[in-house]
Amino acid sequence: MKEYLLKQAKEVLYNNFQKKGFTIPSENLYPFQWKWDSGFIAIGYAHFDIEKAKKEIETILSAQWQNGFIPHIVFHNRSDSYFPGPEVHQSKLSKHASKKYASSGITQPPVFGFVLEKLYQICPDKKNILTFIESQINKVYKNHVYFYFNRDIKDEGLVYIYHNWEAGTDNSPLWDDIWETMDPPDYHFKRKDTQHVDPSQRPTKREYDNYIYLIEIAKKYQYDDKKIAANSPFLVQDPLFNSILIRSNQALIELYKIIGGNDKKVTFLEEKQAKSIKSLNTKLFDENLGAYIHYDLRNKRSLALISSSSFTPLFCGAPDVKIAKKLISTFVEKFGGENNYLCASFDPTNIRFNPKKYWRGPVWINLNWILYNGFKKYGYHELAKRIKEDSIELIVKEGFYEYFDPRKGISDLQKIGYGGNNFSWTAALLIDLLNDSY
């Protein structure tokens, strides 16, 4: 069974691999290179084709902007199966943008620090992989410096996102309260996603108006971070994004220590790390809810809602034992019912929960992988085992889908996942989970 699953997963990745040296997340639906996807994909490749893992990272980092920014989509190739494409994003408006590749001007969680570390751990030929890491690590470091200098406007160690697509959790109910404050034009555009996927599983037209409006504002200011920070109606400190930054800081510190030298970089990262962890725990942990929550900088308020992102600080090691205990008890109470697969992307007890609609409730394998590693780190063995087994079971029963219905009865009856099929990170992270002997 394990061998058969691994073979299938490898096929998904190889079929999605493009001649230009990167792997699309899913045919038609996502026909370019996506930032955090490429990180998870590289982890999968590392188990059986290290050259492809390296290529994936090298290709995305080759599109880094001069100021250290890494875009969430790189348009290495042409395709008319996706909206919004390069003509909407117009990265060339920014004076920092890559001269070589068109891209978006928004980013995604900074996964590459921990991805490089994973590659180091997985690859048996340490000398070989370290040479590769040495060739790429300063780009990742530069990306972290970019975040701290441009996105941490209060100098508190927490960086902001200015678009829901930067969070990765695209249409989460978390953002509903922000949409309430906005009134974008009723744009005329042709959605492509709803031609590939049942529209009931995708965001609404009005949500897309918000998404495009935020991009138009950023374009109006030539993607200048200071002007975006001053003017964007969407300015949020996200626990998922910041936990990934912290986890990657730690990985960069460890890797620089293995490489040797680089003392100034290590000192910079260590200073930021201490501040980031402190602020994550003081500003984003809500004692009453027993969970980490988002902070809306623009409207100066907490977004008191619980999602799978609320538990991702376990992945970066920020919570102390007391906070971790509280967090786990909230997790079990809200998400852990035996009729649910782990882990719904949004609080199943909340009225805004929708088990079919993208990030409003379905299970996502990348979040499961992050939580799995977090539970392991803190010694919550039963939960770690359960989330790993649920992930594998969903893929075995339903296929390599983008997301899955968390309701066991419904999910088992439908026997099919949601969104894009043959989804690359689902395959890649399954490979990592199956190779994990824990």
**Choice among 347, 398, 402, 432 that is catalytic:** 402
How far the first Cα of the chain sits from its last, in Å, is 18
Q: How far is CA 261 from CA 170, 255, 258, in A?
A: 39, 11, 9
Any contact of residue 170 with ligand DGY (CB under 6 A)?
yes
State the DSSP string of 359-422. Answer: GGS-B-HHHHHHHHHHHHHTT-HHHHHHHHHHHHHHHHHH-S-SBB--BHHHHHHH---BS-SS
Q: Looking at beta carbons only, is 190 or 300 nearer to ligand DGY? A: 190
Closest residue to ligand DGY using C-beta atoms? 165
Task: Tokens for 214, please give them.
Answer: 């935020």
Whole-angstrom distance, CA of residue 163 vs CA of residue 235: 7
Question: Cα(108)–Cα(245) distance, rounded to whole angstroms?
Answer: 11
Nearer to ligand DGY, 143 or 279 (CB): 143
| CA 120 to the chain's CA centroid | 21
Please confirm, yes or no, whether 209 is among the known catalytic residues.
Answer: no
Show the binding pattern over residues 68-87: x = contacts ligand DGY (CB under 6 A), - = does not: ----x---------------
Nearest distance, CB of residue 415 and ligand DGY, angstroms: 25
* Active-site annotation holder among 27, 170, 177, 224: 170
For residue 185, say if its preceding peptide bond is cis, omega within 30 degrees of 0. Answer: no
Q: Shortest gap between Cβ of 187 and ligand DGY (angstroms)?
A: 15
Whichever of 203 and 374 has its CB closer to ligand DGY, that residue is: 203
By CB under 6 A, is residue 32 in contact with ligand DGY?
no
Q: Count Cβ atoms below 10 Å from residue 429 Cβ, excluding itself.
A: 24
CB of 165 to ligand DGY, least distance (A): 4
Q: Which of 22, 165, 208, 346 binds ligand DGY (CB under 6 A)?
A: 165
Q: Least Å distance between CB 360 and ligand DGY?
A: 13
Smallest distance from ligand DGY to CB 265, Å = 30
Cα gap 72→139, rounded to integer Å: 15
Which spans in 72-224 are helix H?
Answer: 86-89, 112-122, 126-150, 164-167, 176-179, 193-196, 205-220
DSSP per-residue letters across 222-233: TT-HHHHHHH-S
Residues touching ligand DGY, count (CB under 6 A): 3
Q: Is 402 among the residues known to form the active site?
A: yes
By C-beta, is 72 or 118 nearer to ligand DGY?
A: 72
Q: Is-contact 165 73, C-beta < 8 A?
A: no
**Axis crossing angle, helix 50-61 with helix 112-122, rounded to the nearest 10:** 160
Shortest Å distance, C-beta 170 to ligand DGY:
5
- When asked if residue 40 is in the footprint of ligand DGY (CB under 6 A), the reply is no
Among residues 165 and 331, whose Cβ is nearest to ligand DGY? 165
> How is residue 1 written in tokens?
């069974």
CB of 287 to ligand DGY, least distance (A): 33
Quick one: 148 or 364, whose CB is closer to ligand DGY?
364
- Nearest Cα neighbor of 312 from 249, 391, 242, 237 is 242
Q: Which residue lies nearer to ligand DGY by CB, 101 or 165?
A: 165
DSSP-H helix ranges across 183-224: 193-196, 205-220
Task: Indicate which residues carry an active-site annotation.
Answer: 170, 402
Binding residues for ligand DGY (CB under 6 A): 72, 165, 170
